[in-house]
Amino acid sequence: MGTPPLRRMSRTALGHLKGEKDLSQDLLQGVHSSIPLPRSALAPPVMCAKPKGIPVDKRDFPSRKGYPSAALNQVIKPVLTTTMSQPEAFSRILIDKALEFSGWELLKPQQVQFELHTGNGRADYLLKDSLGRVLCVLEAKREGLDPYDAKEQARGYAENLKAPFIILSNGREHWFWNYERADQRDAYRIERLPSREDLERVRLKNLQPPRLLESEIIAPEYLRHLKHDLTLRRYQI
């Protein structure tokens, strides 16, 4: 077996392994030594700090059978480098693959437009509807950066282009923001990039906002706050 790829090591793990030894020396030893570092001392690379522990939201874009999450991670073989050294071009390769797997045809400008210069900057990707109107601004960030931090930057592009949706991505982590909806004041994590049909469906929901009662979950105990022994029957729900 060969030496495993170099990965970021947590200070807690290093403390148990070698006390207070300098982190940089341990990393160099892992590269140059013929003896690989124990797997117990290795921690996965931290790609961004803010989203840590935030679960993926599947309300608008549920999991798609066969969506190749593992395949995307193998687009480029791991190398002995940290994620912070990867250029933005690396992230764009992953984003291009994710868009293709969601049904976008990258070579058709009627669907995807690249690097449009606006009055306040450059929009990386524009995703269009079946009539050629801009549906979504996709802001790409380097893999080692937190894509969520580009939220307000992307909002400026979207407002100039009258695009209702924003996607923030570093190729491995995606955030979606339906910023025109009053009840969605912030971006949330999504498992996959949406297809054109997904975005058109969400836009249609924006045009027909749900009524309060229709959006509430009615259970048999719904009226018990009025009367403790009152239970709704199935045909009443």
pTM: 0.58
Sign of CA dihedral 81, 83, 87, 89: positive
Phi and psi dihedrals of 24, rounded to 5?
-65, -35
Strand pairing class (165-169; 112-118): unpaired
pLDDT at 136: 97
Q: What is the dihedral of CA 120, 124, 125, 126, to 10 degrees?
A: 10
Helix (H) or strand (E) holding 197, with range, is helix 196-207
Q: Give residue-wise pLDDT tens across range 17-30.
A: 444 444 344 434 44
Of 211, 219, 206, which is closest to residue 60 (Cα–Cα)? 206
Per-domain residue ranges of the chain: 11-41, 69-210
CA distances (Å), origin 200, targets 111, 113, 137, 147, 178: 13, 17, 14, 23, 12
Burial class (CB within 10 angstroms; exposed 0-12, middle 13-18, buried 19+) of 166: buried
CA distances (Å), origin 109, targets 23, 55, 130, 179: 48, 33, 11, 25
Spans of the chain, pLDDT less than 70: 1-59, 62-86, 209-216
pLDDT at 48: 39
Q: Which CATH topology does 69-210 take?
A: tt1808, chain A (3.90.1570)
Q: Give residue-wise pLDDT tens across range 59-98.
A: 677 666 555 554 454 444 444 344 445 678 889 999 999 9
